Amino acid sequence: MGRLVMKFGGTSVADIDRIRNVARHVEREVKAGHEVAVVVSAMSGTTDRLVGWCREAAPIHDAREYDAVVASGETVTAGLLAITLQEMGIPARSWAGWQVPIRTDGVHGSARIQEIDGTEIRKRMEQGQVAVIAGFQGIGPDKRITTLGRGGSDTSAVAIAAALEARCDIYTDVDGVYTTDPRIVSKAQKVDRVSYEEMLEMASLGAKVLQTRSVELAMVYRVPLQVRSSFEAPDSPNQNRPDGTGPGTLVCDEEDIVEQQVVTGIAYTKDEAKVSIRKVKDQPGVSAAIFGPLAEADISVDMIVQNVSMDGTTANITFTVARKDLKKTIDVLDAIKARLGIHEVTHSADVAKVSVVGIGMRSHAGVAARMFKALAEKSINIQAITTSEIKTSVLIDEAYTELAVRALHTAYGLDKA
């Protein structure tokens, strides 16, 4: 039956009863003949609590100690699931990231996995032992514990699946990938298949069902990836289809999708902030003089809009950065303001980016126009626009996020009947 990595998120392991439910999912796959590795998240709410304690101890703190603290949530769940499996008569042991080892770079708080040595785990799995691995954590070059950024257990799971040449099933609190966040649009529909490219855009544009990096890894290493529900009864006959797919959503190659939609999904994020610079000289080199220092300060700029004044001598530039970088951005601009003759810098964090995603956009005209019309009909003003081959994003007032997502969902014919 082959090797299988099963990943369970925070809500799926929220208490001992739910951990028992997870153990029954694992039991089903073991009985079906799979060699199983399980990747677990911290019990829901735990990581937020641990992060809160670090901030309470010191608002500015050592990132290495932050990682030591927040990684502990996953370590606890791994041990608890191993105990539960053993209690059910299934051989199992827990693994912390450093024990595997999962080697990462040294960027504490958002480390990237560099290498996984799966030798020992593979050996134990062949002997019939379930490996229960703490997600989200690894070991850095200086032998300190690292974490992979929020939502990082998805990435742990896909990376382990790549190292073990296994399939990867992501079990979560929804039964698959939807046309948009089912928690804000009740008419959202589950999609049976989504391409790696679309899922990558959806994730990076805010659909937190999978961490962006996990989709990137799955795409590069061609890991067969499924998103499915941990709340569906473990013994339901619906669990595994004859073709090996589950009842959730398969993230796969574009070629494996028969019925292609023009727009597959709508995503949104409230993680960005808008900065506007008024009346800078409209001459060569000005953008370089503004965005160069921002890049040097490690600030990524996302959307950029420039408009020129009536007499053509000055320009206004609006751009977005991650909300967490807003203060740093303003500090950088304050430092260069006088030299560039910038009149005024304003900023706002009350913005949201709403995006439509679909590979069908490559071959269909008018997708963006339909987006603008749907927003206009709801009197929602567009503050900035960016496009790529398979997505169009707009920046709007945060207060209208849900309204915009619902209107677009309807406009592209995605509403469930």
Contacting positions for ligand ASP (CB under 6 A): 9-10, 41-42, 47, 73, 135-136, 150-154
Residue 174 binding partner per list ligand ADP, Mg ion, ligand ASP, none, with a CB distance cut-off of 5 to 8 Å that depends on partner kind: ligand ADP
Interface with Mg ion by CB under 5 A: which residues? 9, 151
Nearest alpha-carbon partner for 138 in 164, 107, 165: 107
Residue 324 binding partner per list ligand ADP, ligand ASP, Mg ion, none, with a CB distance cut-off of 5 to 8 Å that depends on partner kind: none
Quick one: DSSP state of residue 229?
A: E
Q: Is 10 in the site for ligand ADP (CB under 6 A)?
A: yes
Among the residue ranges 59-67, 72-80, 98-106, 166-174, the one whose residues contact ligand ADP (CB under 6 A): 166-174
Helices (H), 92-220: 119-126, 153-164, 196-204, 212-220
Which one of residues 81, 100, 207, 354 is an interface residue with ligand ADP (CB under 6 A)? 207
| Token code pair at residue 357 | 């995603």
Which C-beta is closer to ligand ASP: that of 80 or that of 396?
80
Which C-beta is closer to ligand ADP: that of 343 or that of 416?
416
Which C-beta is closer to ligand ADP: that of 27 or that of 154?
154
Which one of residues 144, 208, 279, 323 is an interface residue with ligand ADP (CB under 6 A)? 208
CA dihedral 41, 47, 50, 52 (to 10 degrees): 180
Strand (E) positions, 214-361? 225-229, 249-252, 265-269, 272-281, 301-308, 314-322, 344-348, 351-357
3-state helix, strand, coil in the chain (%, to 5): 40, 25, 35
Residue 144 binding partner per list Mg ion, ligand ADP, ligand ASP, none, with a CB distance cut-off of 5 to 8 Å that depends on partner kind: none
Give the containing element (helix H, strand E) for 402. Answer: helix 401-411
Which C-beta is closer to Mg ion: that of 172 or that of 318?
172
Which C-beta is closer to Mg ion: that of 41 or that of 129?
41
Shortest gap between Cβ of 42 and ligand ASP (angstroms)?
Answer: 4
| Token code pair at residue 44 | 């829901």
Which C-beta is closer to ligand ASP: that of 9 or that of 358?
9
Nearest alpha-carbon partner for 96 in 171, 163, 156: 156
Instruction: Please tell me the count of residues contacting ligand ADP according to CB under 6 A.
Output: 19
Nearest alpha-carbon partner for 351 in 317, 385, 387, 313: 385
- Spatial separation of the C-alpha atoms in residues 301 and 6, rounded to whole Å: 36
Residue 180 binding partner per list Mg ion, ligand ASP, ligand ADP, none, with a CB distance cut-off of 5 to 8 Å that depends on partner kind: ligand ADP
Q: Is 174 in the site for ligand ADP (CB under 6 A)?
A: yes
Give the containing element (helix H, strand E) for 240. Answer: none
- Spatial separation of the C-alpha atoms in residues 293 and 265, rounded to whole Å: 35
Which C-beta is closer to ligand ASP: that of 153 or that of 195?
153
Q: Which residues are near ligand ADP by CB under 6 A?
A: 9-12, 41, 151, 172-174, 177-178, 180-183, 207-209, 265
